[in-house]
Structure 1
Amino acid sequence: MTALVRFAHSRISWSILTGSAIALEASALYFQYVMNLEPCVMCIYIRLAVLGVLVAGLIGMIAPSKLFVRVIASIGWAVSATWGLKLALQLVDIQTNPSPFATCSFLPEFPEWMPLHEWLPSVFMPTGMCTDVPWQFMNVTMAEWMVFGFSGYLVALLLFLVPILTGSKKPSLYK
């Protein structure tokens, strides 16, 4: 078994995934409550995608040596990171090409059976506008950083899956 496969089967790998998602969620709450930056509805959806990655990491931590658990966690990871990347790209487009015809809604469109914005408004109620760019670091907006973050999650997922699915004894990175 290669080092990468052993790492994918370890609890520490799933802990790193979970910890990174916790750090992103904590950062979002820091921006909202300490820096007083108001999240838009797309930001709330992106928060939910990060929460999906966090849950996938927790599932993977349950029994990382079990194939079934890794598959379920990996599917959750893939769906959440892909959805998050799509949302972040949409938000970047809204912010860089503002148009009165391309706006986001004021309230999140959660299913009736799961109105997160009513259950936990302090985390899931949008108060900002999608066209606003309230924060930048190194001339990169928060939405652009999230494109980078979700892309990183997907690259990491591929690094985990390729040697496992191909059955190769040595990942191509080590040749």
Structure 2
Amino acid sequence: MALPASRPFYLLSLIFCASLIAIALYMEHILGLEPCPLCIIQRALVIMVGLVSLIAVLHNPLPSQGQQRRVAARAYAFVLTLFAVLGGAVAGRQVWLQHQPADQLPSCLPSLDYMLDVLPLQEMLSLLFSGTADCAKVDWTFMGLSIAEGTLLAFIGLSLFGLMQLIRNTD
């Protein structure tokens, strides 16, 4: 028995990612919540998942249409899963920081523009991924979840979607 085509699922993933970015921009520009370095990385990874979904929607590889299409379908699923798992790791790090005592948090970082100008790439990435006191601050909650916790749940869902696409039998 053949499963339904992947295109509608990737379209839902694309819409979901676009919604997450729209919500993030609304929170930043309308509510005035400034994103921390980990939030910016999470946004970039949501955009990457969305782009993979967009490409999969446009290409519409049907694994039942030959080996080359099967490879493309698995590649989209793998890359999407990879970006979603990375996003989940970054969001998980931020959730962990939010649950640490304030005196155990690293101090604030300089601006991203400054770090790009002055620091070597490896050191800058290390600082960004380690997070700071800014990343531990909870400014807004919805149903008891911080933004980072909600984003972590979103990345878990996207990871499960990617895994589903990766392992499903479409022959």
Q: Do both share a fold (TM > 0.5)?
A: yes
Residue 39 (structure 2) pairs with residue 39 (structure 1): no
Q: Aligned equivalents of 1:16 and 1:48: distance in 2?
A: 19
4+ runs deviating over 6 angstroms: none
The residue number in structure 2 matching 1:151 is 156
CA distance in 1, matches of 2:169, 2:103: 45
CA RMSD of aligned residues (A): 2.6
* 1:37-116 alignment, distance < 5 Å: 37-64=33-60, 65=62, 66-97=69-100, 98-103=102-107, 105-108=109-112
Q: Figure out how many residues of one structure are paired with residues of the other and give that number.
A: 148
Q: Which runs of 5+ in 2 are unaligned?
A: 63-68, 122-132
Give the distance between the partners of 1:105 and 1:80, measured in 2 at CA. 25
For 1:162 and 1:73, locate their aligned partners in 2 and report how far apart those are by CA, in whole Å.
Answer: 12
**Structure 2 residue identity aligned to 1:29:** L
Alignment match, 1:2? 2
Using the size of structure 1 for normalisation, the TM-score is 0.74
Tell me the TM-score normalized by structure 2. Answer: 0.75
Unaligned runs of 5+ in 1: 116-127, 168-175
Residue among 5, 14, 21 paired with 1:18: 14
The one-letter amino acid paired with 1:157 is G
Identity %: 24
**Aligned letter for 1:7?**
A
Compared CA separation, residues 101 and 95, structure 1 to 2 (3 A): closer
- Structure having the higher helix fraction is 2
**Aligned counterparts of 2:164 and 2:144: Cα–Cα separation in 1:** 29
